[in-house]
Structure 1
């Protein structure tokens, strides 16, 4: 059975960016994804834009929409009011995250806000019939003292009411596979979907990896650097991402979640390389 797909987008901040979001969703829609998610910006900086984009897509896109919801910068009352607005708009899929601090700083709960993602998931599970997905970190969360603590925290989120975890991106399949095994050993039975980041720009991807604590193996960094020097960066990015996904699928992974950055072309090429584009879909995305 082909892998089930989902895609992450971010909310537009301009008219031109709105067209990029629209193009991304409609380019990838023929792949019949489970859902498309809309993120919050760092520090909760795009809360209103996320809500507007998610509700607009819910009305216009032929794909189920999942809205991100974080603890950052809002009271508990405000967060749950946002969740109720999503539900009223027909959005019942929520990606619940703690969120990062403003301006790259440490996370600080808002006044009368949720202190962490476990509190957020618990409240959402009581607020309505939401499908709650949470984040997971194969290479460890920057705030976790150990990988064991990282896994235990995920289990607590699942026990609080989350139905699925989506991981931070990673560069080697073994990062995910080791994490999946550790989660199984800890008694986590909910699905864990690997988050896949096709590398459209190596320099910005490497900076992003450093900020979020995702290790970049030296041999991969050297390979991307060499590919750029030899003017074959796009081909190498496609090959690396397709190989990563193929290795995961070969190990029994059944779902893939792509971080599109509102640039669908590389994601679409990876799906084609993996044979995940059906003949019917190919007619629409050719």
Structure 2
């Protein structure tokens, strides 16, 4: 199939060149030759006809990963359609976005520096779309969730710019507890007042929070109707589970990600990490732009 396509494109190119060619003759009075114009004209026709065939998608698919694999708890490399596109994504971290070709996308998570597969996922990526692929523990997500309800999860993302003076983001519950937990955001200057609260969060889901005015905020999971952050007692000294005094600038997509640890099903068996994506206006083709 690939060879047939190359032969067809090659024949089409030669035909176009012959079609637009004509005898070249130097002029005795040293007038400029029309040959450069002819060659430019031919190249323009060939390019305009072949570009849609060779480059059917003007906009790539954007992809990032979250490493929440508690079973290995180690860095991973990510191979997409046979190419290693990300390396050393630490446990409990999100990678940057990378561009991949739209269509069938095969994602392999391997231990960093090896070919030992930890997990894999196949899905169809649309052009000018973005996805997060998250490898986690064995706790499943809700039935009917878009794309998949078990690890690795595939989350379609929204990379449109926030409104002027605002930021937005999501809460990713990729920890390994099924306990009932709320997610609240408060201004650092008034920590006991909810700016927004998402209640009864379902495990292994990603929920957007409303756009907020730029400023300094606290982000933390809490027990229902509570204000005090959870305390993770798996560490010495214990760790307060929150992102405190976080200044979030304009135009940013600020995501808060909960990952699991060895405490298993306890409500406080999680830690938080964040991912900040600075967006930019779409390019001339309407493709989403990211300022890494």
Do these two structures clear the TM 0.5 threshold for a shared fold by scoring above it?
Answer: no
Q: Which has the larger radius of gyration?
A: 2
Higher RCO (CA-CA < 8 Å; seq separation 6+): 1
**Per the shorter chain, which TM-score range?**
under 0.3
